[in-house]
Amino acid sequence: MKISKTHQTLSEVMDDIRVLTEPENYLGTNWKEVLNFWIFLDTMNEEQWNSINVAYSSLSWDERDASFLEILNLARDLRGVRSAWLAASRYYLAASSCRGASGFATYELINSHKRKKQGKSLVYFPLFLNI
């Protein structure tokens, strides 16, 4: 299994090497999608991060807040979720000023099956599509 910079950072933040060998126990049902997303983040260049920043900034505060609170609530039962956001946002903040979009997209991916079941669409993850 390829280890992304975010996945490695998550292991360090949680001080638990099992995060690398048993990600499903920390990231839940959609762990493969999360790990693939993190590998994709490693390939992004500055221009792409700037594109994410523009798209993220175009979201309304209401849209951002509502989505964030919903995805955070859905993820509260997984022990690695808070640390996953920290890992995803901390590493990539150095590359961009889009302050946490990668962390919020990670939350959404972790909970995407629950949001789909509720009939709700993703807000943050789509920002990373077709950049």
Residue 10's identity, in one-letter code, is: L
Query: What is the pTM assigned to this prediction?
Result: 0.84
Q: Around Cβ 126, how many Cβ atoms within 10 Å?
A: 12
Q: Alpha carbon 77 to chain centroid distance?
A: 16
- Residue 24 confidence (pLDDT) above 70: yes
* pLDDT tens readout for residues 64-120: 777 777 776 766 665 556 667 666 666 555 445 465 788 888 888 988 888 889 898
Residue 57's identity, in one-letter code, is: S
Closest residue by Cα to residue 87 from 76, 102, 72, 68: 102
Long-range pairs for 24-29: beta carbons < 8 A, 24 or more residues apart: 25/79, 25/80, 26/78, 26/79, 26/80, 26/83, 26/84, 27/78, 27/80, 27/81, 27/84, 27/110, 28/75, 28/78, 28/81, 28/110, 28/111, 29/113
